[in-house]
Structure 1
Amino acid sequence: MKLKQAVTGMAVLACMSTAAHAQSAGTFFFSTGWFHLAPQSSSDPLTVTSIGGSPTNITEANTGASLSSADTIGFTGGYFITDHIATEFVIGVPPTFDLEGSGSLEQFGKLGQAKQWSPTLLFKYYFNAPTASFRPYLGLGVSRVSFTDAKITNSNFEANVLHGPTSVSTDSSWVPVFNAGFTYAFDQHWFAGVSISYLPLSTTAKLNSTSTTVVGTLNIQSQTKIKLNPIVTYANVGYRF
């Protein structure tokens, strides 16, 4: 009986040791899952900054835009620096956001679209012991946000408001990331997690339009500052080794 108890005790200790190793200093981990990006968006009015090369400052009153939510698949890779501190790199397949008109532009519906790139580096502090199955955490990091394939897709908006074919460019920026979540370990390797992040993000969309007039073509430049401030949720499964 004593021998059986000793063997059982040793097995439990071995399992605890393995679990600890799976969430302790020196551990690498990878995960994949689903991102949902929900912009808390608004924008400044559309401002015409140049007509035919001459600077202007014409504000189109009661014009605005907002961004739709988007979903995409994501990937993370990380490393436990200590039993409680981990660093993590996060990237997702670039989601496509739709730009919707608001104010006097609401009548046009969808105005355009763009893809967002936001690779992120996080530092996380994990609570509870390395042997615990449930480990909540708080994180702080930085993301490099940029947009590609930005374009106007609404021909009525392009013709009646922008006065002709229009190209779009946007700013890139570094933004802080505030993060919280938890992981749950099923065994010494496999785990699942949920997190939520907030990015105080804004970008300036610059529009370059070409208008055809009786005296030739006229270049019109305009811009608007769009506040995205997305709340990002991430549900994932991962593997530690």
Structure 2
Amino acid sequence: MPRRFSFSFTLAGLLVLPITAVADTGNEVLSPWQVRAGVSLIVPKSENGAIFDHTANVTIDHRAGPSFNIGYFITPNWAIDLLGGLAFKHQIHVNGSHAGETKHLPPILSLQYHFRPEARLRPFVGLGLNYTAFVDEKLDDGSKLKLRDSWGPALQAGLDYALDNHWTIGADVRYARINTKVRINGADAGDVDVNPTVYSINVGYRF
């Protein structure tokens, strides 16, 4: 009788073990860190302002390039997210003619709220701060161009699709307030509003 009881107990344990292992896999505890890599399209507002006492209209073209995100989940719903990338190069037009170019780095730090973090489809929104540094400013006529760095608010809305516990594909759209003062040959020339909408698609991994 003791042997039969022992055999029955062992057999029951073998049957329960795979079920327990599956449950543990389904409830996997994930790291709070997430990284994303993708492509972003920066679309400045259609009219970026006027310089030289509003006599010269300035427009800045669209530009796409690689981007990345680093996210940290404070709770299942709340996360801090940093958007970064390589410097984006934009062409500058004045009164419809090509006048120069500039590069800028527009990192955005956001606080995000994820509505359904455990679902397959995971919508989220974000509110953040944008810092933009302009580099390699050039004018075609050889004049010295300087664009002042900019701080401003940023808004975000996005959607992730979970492929499994770790991998996601996603898309989001952001609006950033970017205003810069223009100096040409050391003299103030006016203000330019870039104020881009940023469209991104990405692949993400949650550790």
SS at 1:166 equivalent: coil
2:68 to 53, 70, 75: 75
For structure 1, the residue ranges without an aligned partner over 5 or more in a row are 48-58, 159-164, 210-220
CA distance in 2, matches of 1:232, 1:43: 16
Letter in 2 for 1:183: D
SS at 2:144 equivalent: strand
Deviation at 1:224, TM superposition (A): 2.6
Residue of structure 1 equivalent to 2:35 = 30
- TM-score, normalised to structure 2, is 0.85
Residue 149 in structure 1 maps to residue 115 in structure 2: no
- The 5 Å alignment of 1:1-241 reads 10=20, 13-18=23-28, 21-22=29-30, 26-47=31-52, 59=53, 61=55, 63-101=56-94, 105-106=95-96, 109-128=97-116, 130-153=117-140, 158=141, 165-208=142-185, 221-241=187-207
Deviation at 1:202, TM superposition (A): 1.4
- TM-score, normalised to structure 1, is 0.74
Work out whether residues 48 and 60 of structure 2, in 8 Å CA contact, stay in contact via their aligned partners in 1: no
Work out whether residues 74 and 90 of structure 1, in 8 Å CA contact, stay in contact via their aligned partners in 2: yes
CA distance in 2, matches of 1:77, 1:114: 26
Query: Which string of whole-angstrom CA distances, capped at 9 and with x for unpartnered residues, describes residues 48-94 of structure 1?
Result: xxxxxxxxxxx363x21100000110111111100100111111101
SS at 1:82 equivalent: coil
Alignment RMSD (CA, Å): 2.3
Work out whether residues 145 and 174 of structure 1, in 8 Å CA contact, stay in contact via their aligned partners in 2: yes
Equivalenced residues, count? 196
Residue identity (%): 27
> Does the C-alpha gap of structure 1 residues 11 and 175 become closer, same or farther in structure 2, counting only changes over 3 Å?
same
Query: Which string of whole-angstrom CA distances, capped at 9 and with x for unpartnered residues, describes residues 94-121 of structure 1?
Result: 11011112xxx32xx2111000111221
